[in-house]
């Protein structure tokens, strides 16, 4: 048991398990609906990475803002957005959180402080710094969490944002979710250094590498980072090492890595199974409690899929709305 595990209650443990399981089941159903032709275009699944977003979210407050790139379904569920609205956006329906006009990569929620959902690799990082800038400007105690992948870590604007965030001591938590492949290119083939967290040092940003397959470790590191930021000491960078089980997007056959590698991760490092084993042992979580959660998630997903299938397509008039405010 890690040090931080002691600081969570059994109720917390059950909640984190349920949050991760919901993301996993949501993504599995997304893949199914994609296969059935109900979801179009790009669809990037989060399966395997669940402990990252659930662990980080567990140390945030509702006032904190979250922004990420296009592998965003898990982040939205972790922020408390209605999974029905997210799935209906995937199916391009009027009941989607963007009224069907955004799609998988472009969803937002003012209510839940989720600022997207961005399709341009790395562009969300200056935006996230801007969220933090606004928080500091308004003298709020909130912070922004900006997620990016290991691929985004090579975009120049990421470092422009790091520089300004550190220069102005912005309340910004930057997270590189290193799932080890930027589409089909491994970190070894794209990065001049094996570790990405070291890139914070050049900007005076304290940085750490974390095992992203272990929710307790993610939570502990995130708590430390958040404490640093809330103390007014400026940004913090976490490189969270994780793994995506599926392809980059639905159209990716995944020829750049071996089946054995993927199977080994699934078998030995699954974040949900690992977490379950720990909480069964340390929190005396029972089989019936697990079953109750599984049933609840199953029921939620049934409703979610039903809604996403039955919600109508957007009205034709929606083509010309939401282009400018006040017109």
Shortest reach from residue 321's CB to other proteins, in Å: 7
Phi/psi at 196 (nearest 5 deg)?
-90, -25
Phi/psi at 133 (nearest 5 deg)?
-60, -45
Shortest reach from residue 288's CB to other proteins, in Å: 41
The whole-angstrom separation of Cα 23 and Cα 297 is: 9
- Whichever of 35 and 232 has its CB closer to other proteins, that residue is 232
Tokens of 127: 């935006």
Give the residue ranges of DSSP H helices in 238-321: 259-269, 271-282, 287-310
Shortest reach from residue 121's CB to other proteins, in Å: 11
- Whichever of 28 and 160 has its CB closer to other proteins, that residue is 160
Count Cα neighbours of 301 within 13 Å in the Cβ-side half-sphere: 20
- Whichever of 119 and 184 has its CB closer to other proteins, that residue is 119
Three-class DSSP category at 62: coil
Residues that bind other proteins in the complex, under the rule CB under 8 A: 65, 67, 96-102, 106-110, 115-120, 123, 125-135, 137-138, 144, 156-157, 160-161, 163-164, 167, 321-326
- Whichever of 83 and 128 has its CB closer to other proteins, that residue is 128
Three-class DSSP category at 178: strand
The whole-angstrom separation of Cα 208 and Cα 183 is: 24
Shortest reach from residue 260's CB to other proteins, in Å: 39
Asked if the peptide bond before residue 117 counts as cis, ω within 30 degrees of 0, the response is yes
Three-class DSSP category at 184: coil
Tokens of 66: 């979250």
- Whichever of 127 and 223 has its CB closer to other proteins, that residue is 127
Shortest reach from residue 300's CB to other proteins, in Å: 23
Query: Across-strand partners of 174?
Result: 146, 237
- Whichever of 43 and 164 has its CB closer to other proteins, that residue is 164
Shortest reach from residue 146's CB to other proteins, in Å: 9
Which residues of 160-300 form beta strands (DSSP E)?
Answer: 172-178, 181-182, 185-186, 207-211, 236-241
- For residue 260, how far is the Cα from the chain centroid? 26
Query: What secondary structure letter does DSSP report for 314?
Result: P
- Whichever of 25 and 93 has its CB closer to other proteins, that residue is 93
Shortest reach from residue 39's CB to other proteins, in Å: 17
Shortest reach from residue 142's CB to other proteins, in Å: 10
- Whichever of 268 and 321 has its CB closer to other proteins, that residue is 321
Whether 279 contacts 64, CB under 8 Å:
no
């Amino acid at each position: 048991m890690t040090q931080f595990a002691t600081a969570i209650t059994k109720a917390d443990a059950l909640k984190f398990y349920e949050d991760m399981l919901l993301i996993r089941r949501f993504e599995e159903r997304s893949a199914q609906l994609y296969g059935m032709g109900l979801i179009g275009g790009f669809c990037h699944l989060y399966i395997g990475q669940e402990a990252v977003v659930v662990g980080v979210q567990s140390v945030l407050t509702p006032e904190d803002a979250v922004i990420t790139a296009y592998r965003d379904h898990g982040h939205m569920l972790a922020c408390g957005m209605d999974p029905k609205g997210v799935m209906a956006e995937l199916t391009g329906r009027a009941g989607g959180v963007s009224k069907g006009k955004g799609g998988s990569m472009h969803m937002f929620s003012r209510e839940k402080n989720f600022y997207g959902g961005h399709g341009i690799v790395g562009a969300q990082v200056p935006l996230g710094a801007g969220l933090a800038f606004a928080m500091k400007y308004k003298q709020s105690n909130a912070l922004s969490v900006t997620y990016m992948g290991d691929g985004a870590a090579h975009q120049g604007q990421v470092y422009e944002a790091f520089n300004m965030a550190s220069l102005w001591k912005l309340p910004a938590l930057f997270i590189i979710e290193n799932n080890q492949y930027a589409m089909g290119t491994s970190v070894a083939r794209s990065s001049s250094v094996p570790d990405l967290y070291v890139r914070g040092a050049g900007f005076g940003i304290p940085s750490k590498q974390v095992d992203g397959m272990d929710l307790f470790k993610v939570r502990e590191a995130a708590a430390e980072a958040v404490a640093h930021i809330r103390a007014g000491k400026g940004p913090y960078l976490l490189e969270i090492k994780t793994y995506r089980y599926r392809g980059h997007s639905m159209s990716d056959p995944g020829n750049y890595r071996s089946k054995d590698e993927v199977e080994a991760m699934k078998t030995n490092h699954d974040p949900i199974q690992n977490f379950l084993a720990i909480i069964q042992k340390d929190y005396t979580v029972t089989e019936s409690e697990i079953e109750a959660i599984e049933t609840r998630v199953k029921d939620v997903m049934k409703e979610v899929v039903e809604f996403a299938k039955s919600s109508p397509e957007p009205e034709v008039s929606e083509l010309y709305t939401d282009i400018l405010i006040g017109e």
